[in-house]
Structure 1
Amino acid sequence: MKDIENQKLLTDTGIIEFKDRLALAQEGMSGNAFAKKVGMSEAVIRDYLSGKTYPSLNRLALIAKKCDVPIEWLATGKGECRLSSNNDLQKIIYIPAYQRHSAKSQIDDNKGVKNSVIDSLPFDLSCLKYHEFKIEDLYVYWAKGDSMSPTISDNDTLVLNTANVTPFDGYIYIIQYGDSLSVKRIQNHGKYFLLLSDNEKYPSIQIDKACSENDFKIIGRVICILKDLS
């Protein structure tokens, strides 16, 4: 009975979704890099992101400070989720889908109804830390598969900055590899890149830096991950 009451309390206060807000504050950084940023072990951060454990008040305050987010929002989801450094930014915008590959089906073709797609997504810019991006460079992309699990799950919505195509180790990018798109971390190794998955069952992929854009192209860097809880 006590466990049921505790679960209800976590749900009613919004604390149970702390892991999703933490993933948003992580901004696509690797678990190791984010752990170093907030001064905690990677194992502790992994437990928080999985919902296995929750931080104490002093750790919660430290994470909020290091990530520049309000502690109330981080703990409960109430209030503004992100403080933008540019107060002149319009809060609600419509970010277009990366249509060539990410169009999301809404109607079942088997019912004889013409298939339609989501061509844009309303987005609150206060949920996004301002990194001198231009709004016209932002696109949304729906992730598929589990290669980036647990950081990114199937059907999670990603916001990418297509102006940011310079690869830095540890960050997540949308990659065009051959005829398909994928979501990977990039690691520089001299004359080649390694494309890395967060899911350990997927092997890394080696890409020669001299290959043509038809074979390999960085579409943009993922700057926000919105979790699909359905």
Structure 2
Amino acid sequence: MKSKVKKLSEQEKTRNLTETGVINFKNRLNLVLEGLSGNAFAKKVGMSEAVIRDYLCGKTYPSLNRLAIIAQKCDVPIEWLATGKGGCRLADESSGQVSVHIPFHNLNETNKAFSVLESIPFDLTLIKHHNYDSKDLAAVWAKGDSMEPTISNQDIIIVNKANCKPIDGFLYAVQYDDQISVKRIQHQGSNLVLISDNPKYPNIIGDKNDLQNFKIIGHVIYLLKNLD
């Protein structure tokens, strides 16, 4: 009889947590981490890693005092953190937004290369952790082996179109000869050199003052490898 009463009590507790929104605290805490490891976040808020780990897996919930500390250290509303109600800069919790769809970059309207997969979902916390604007991001299919071993055929590359200023050694998506390629950039006097990681491919050289033959689409920020 006692065990039955205890079971009902647990059901009541779960119902209360669900109705108030507290049960989804772990999801909001994952957003608040903004890409930090559990250990780094624990140091940020002055708590033990074990405590944060229990919060993230939904094993326990924070006291009001600890909830207030996390909200203050992470600059989020305490009501949103506790219940999911109200607005927050990290995500629109009411819509369940934890990812954004990044469109594939097309050369023109008639290009059908991306007809099978026109956008890709991407973790919102990664974008916000690095202060990227999702509207500036585009996905590009990797084609061929010119960037092996770094990038393989059919890998997916995420580029930041807001960053087109070339820096030596960095990877950029570049449009030239009616195609998109990813190359390393190198400044050589008045020339801008596009370099392939695969040594069998020659460098492509363009005049910095006359870059009509190719343009930089954006800086490569993420690479999604095809492991098949």
Q: What does 1:56-75 correspond to in 2, within 5 Å? A: 70=37
Distance 1:167 1:96, change over 3 A: same
C-alpha displacement at 1:99, in angstroms? 2.5
Q: Which residue of 2 aligns with 1:124?
A: 123
- Contact kept, 8 Å, 1:97 with 1:103, in 2: the verdict is no
Distance 1:149 1:128, change over 3 A: farther
SS class of match (2:135): helix
Q: Which residue of 2 aligns with 1:96?
A: 103
Matched, 1:158 2:157: yes
Q: What does 1:1-230 correspond to in 2, within 5 Å? A: 70=37, 88-89=90-91, 91-100=98-107, 104=113, 116-128=115-127, 130-212=129-211, 214-230=212-228
2:146 maps to amino acid: S
Q: Relative contact order (alpha carbons < 8 A, sep ≥ 6): 1 or 2 greater?
A: 1
Structure 1 CA distance for aligned equivalents of residues 226 and 198 of structure 2: 18
SS class of match (1:123): strand
After superposition, the CA RMSD in angstroms is 2.9
Distance 1:122 1:146, change over 3 A: same
- Contact kept, 8 Å, 1:128 with 1:224, in 2: the verdict is no
SS class of match (1:207): strand
2:105 maps to amino acid: Y
C-alpha displacement at 1:156, in angstroms? 0.3
2:191 maps to amino acid: Y
Structure 2 CA distance for aligned equivalents of residues 168 and 129 of structure 1: 23
TM-score normalised per structure 1: 0.54
C-alpha displacement at 1:159, in angstroms? 0.5
Structure 1 CA distance for aligned equivalents of residues 191 and 136 of structure 2: 27
C-alpha displacement at 1:130, in angstroms? 3.5
- Contact kept, 8 Å, 1:104 with 1:142, in 2: the verdict is no
- Contact kept, 8 Å, 2:107 with 2:178, in 1: the verdict is no
1:89-121: CA deviations, max 9, x gaps?
A: 55311111112378546xxxxxxxxxx432111
TM-score normalised per structure 2: 0.55
Distance 1:103 1:167, change over 3 A: farther
Structure 1 CA distance for aligned equivalents of residues 182 and 36 of structure 2: 26
1:121-173: CA deviations, max 9, x gaps?
A: 11113345733321101011110011111111000001011110000111110
Question: Runs of at least 4 residues of structure 1 off by over 3 A?
Answer: 68-72, 101-105, 126-131
Structure 2 CA distance for aligned equivalents of residues 170 and 117 of structure 1: 33
Show structure 1 runs of 5+ residues with no match: 1-67, 73-78, 106-115
Structure 2 CA distance for aligned equivalents of residues 150 and 167 of structure 1: 22
